[in-house]
Structure 1
């Protein structure tokens, strides 16, 4: 039998946990695929009864385990906790709201058994997402593709099957400012895609606010590429070149025609333009400097409040 870990990060998903487990058991042909599963719920500091529901599931079903983080660290860090715990042949990462259909796992496992090491689900349609969110997401991926040497695959999220060697590679990447969708391509390995239509959330509302999506986009750009720093350098050269050409123009004009007294609006515009360029460049530099500041602290990525896992049970024996 092949050991596979199904890792499910959760934040305030009390209404979905039992349904997710039921769908996993009903839709995935574990016996036919020769899989011995462990279903791991990673609670990311939920404020509702998610932990209690997960504990009840773990008490009733031997294949359920859980890790409760000490506070809400965010999904990116919750996935790191799953990577750190992993001791299986492969891992399947999926959300806890049933927008990721468990039935696709059957095809993922078959592709993995055929030799692929990173089998990811690519969304064709996004249920319950506005036109604005879909468009901005598309523009973000296009921008990141232009800026980065290793483009991120559009519409491919964290719903994927990862071979053991991929998980061990990801485990070595310990940066605190994480953009895991980019890290999948950083580590490489043989990839295959499965198309699917994202279903509506079973219960509750999305935890991704507009502000959190902006923060994730900033993390993606600053954690995945240094191109903005290079662009600010090019902007500095461009503005300096423009200023030099304008200086030569003013000098020649003064020598031929004489001094011009009506230059106040031009001076104001130039000062505001140059000031804006300086502030933008300083802002870009500040974003990277802040991330360096967080990295050099070398703090642990997370702390665990409690857990019940198969590994812990084996250690007790």
Structure 2
């Protein structure tokens, strides 16, 4: 891998920016200047972690397998053995070369030890371990960057999407679609999860800005071209399904079974779903900013018209407005509107600030292959 250092005192981020140069900031420029794909961008510290950015082109085609399965893991120790057994049976029935890439997103329940045991049993199992919990979408980004399959399957580790349903997705994928995602027949989730998913799906359709079919399913099959395009997306705060829809590849849904959660706690509670929704809105649309501008214009005109009416009535009729209650209510209402608009602007500013910090998307502490 490019970007090796022997001195642990060197700042990896500064190293990546100065030494790797165009690779770290513009993989397309690297291809134009060097006539070859840009490698994975990272700085490897002696006896330390890998600091990674999701950029560059796919790995050497000679290392490819037919199918890669990318699975983020966060405190799923109780379901990993069963997941591996059932998933391996499905993949071996296909008769194609494959790999299973688990990304341990800072688990604290012994998941990593279970994954190491699976690797010792089967070298087709590969494991990336983060230094801490970076989130589901950075974990997916790391898996997509490291996987080598011509076809890539994304799924969760909680067995809510039965591995046996992969066959349905692959059958549809062979018809020529770029992305095939699972549509749950009877979703076994709390009501707030169902409602929030419906809301996010509706928002994607409104915000993406074209007619591509949208989905937020974590169970999908993608071609290599889709994964390579995802690897070129450089935002720090990622929403994988939204990016896939934005890229414009052909998508279709297939009905699949949905089971009860086998182990661990849901990675998204109510508040995390709220923040995910805010990231979705600010990441894919300027509509809230435009709405704030329109609201400001509307209320400014209302204030001008009302003020003119009261002034004219006072001058020509001697009309006098009594009561402070209506004034206080008006002040509170318009103050609320102003704070809402400031909050919307603040969300965009915060996103810009986070994107310009230059921090890596994730940090890999250990790799097991």
Same-fold status (TM-score > 0.5): yes
Q: 2:242 aligns with which of 169, 182, 197?
A: 182
| Paired residue secondary structure (1:212) | helix
**What is the Cα deviation at residue 133 of structure 1?**
3.3
Q: Which residue of 1 aligns with 2:24?
A: none
Q: Which residue of 2 aligns with 1:81?
A: 142
**Shift in CA distance, 209/203, structure 1 to aligned 2, threshold 3 Å:** same
Summarize the alignment of residues 1-317 of structure 1 with structure 2, pairs less than 5 Å apart: 3-26=66-89, 28-31=90-93, 33-127=94-188, 129-150=189-210, 156-309=216-369
| Paired residue secondary structure (2:290) | helix
**Shift in CA distance, 60/140, structure 1 to aligned 2, threshold 3 Å:** closer
Taking the aligned partners of 1:269 and 1:125, their CA distance within structure 2 comes to 47
| Paired residue secondary structure (1:307) | strand
Taking the aligned partners of 1:163 and 1:103, their CA distance within structure 2 comes to 19
Contact 1:118 1:163 in 2 (8 A): yes
**Shift in CA distance, 144/118, structure 1 to aligned 2, threshold 3 Å:** closer
TM-score (norm 1): 0.90
Taking the aligned partners of 2:75 and 2:190, their CA distance within structure 1 comes to 23
Q: Which moved more, 1:95-104 or 1:113-122?
A: 113-122
The gaps in structure 1 that reach 5 residues or longer are 310-317
Contact 1:152 1:181 in 2 (8 A): no
Taking the aligned partners of 1:2 and 1:133, their CA distance within structure 2 comes to 35
Contact 1:138 1:154 in 2 (8 A): no
Q: Which moved more, 1:56-65 or 1:139-148?
A: 139-148
Taking the aligned partners of 1:120 and 1:258, their CA distance within structure 2 comes to 69
| Paired residue secondary structure (1:298) | coil
**Shift in CA distance, 138/112, structure 1 to aligned 2, threshold 3 Å:** closer
**What is the Cα deviation at residue 114 of structure 1?**
2.7
Taking the aligned partners of 1:64 and 1:30, their CA distance within structure 2 comes to 13
**What is the Cα deviation at residue 103 of structure 1?**
1.2
The gaps in structure 2 that reach 5 residues or longer are 1-63
How many aligned residue pairs are there?
A: 306
Contact 1:150 1:185 in 2 (8 A): no
Give the 4+ runs in structure 1 shifted more than 3 A.
143-148, 150-156
**What is the Cα deviation at residue 150 of structure 1?**
4.5
Taking the aligned partners of 2:212 and 2:332, their CA distance within structure 1 comes to 36
Taking the aligned partners of 2:98 and 2:143, their CA distance within structure 1 comes to 14
**What is the Cα deviation at residue 10 of structure 1?**
0.2
| Paired residue secondary structure (2:102) | strand
**What is the Cα deviation at residue 156 of structure 1?**
3.8
Contact 2:72 2:136 in 1 (8 A): yes
TM-score (norm 2): 0.78
Q: Which residue of 1 aligns with 2:39?
A: none
Taking the aligned partners of 2:282 and 2:211, their CA distance within structure 1 comes to 14
Q: Over the residues paired in the alignment, what is the CA RMSD in angstroms?
A: 2.0
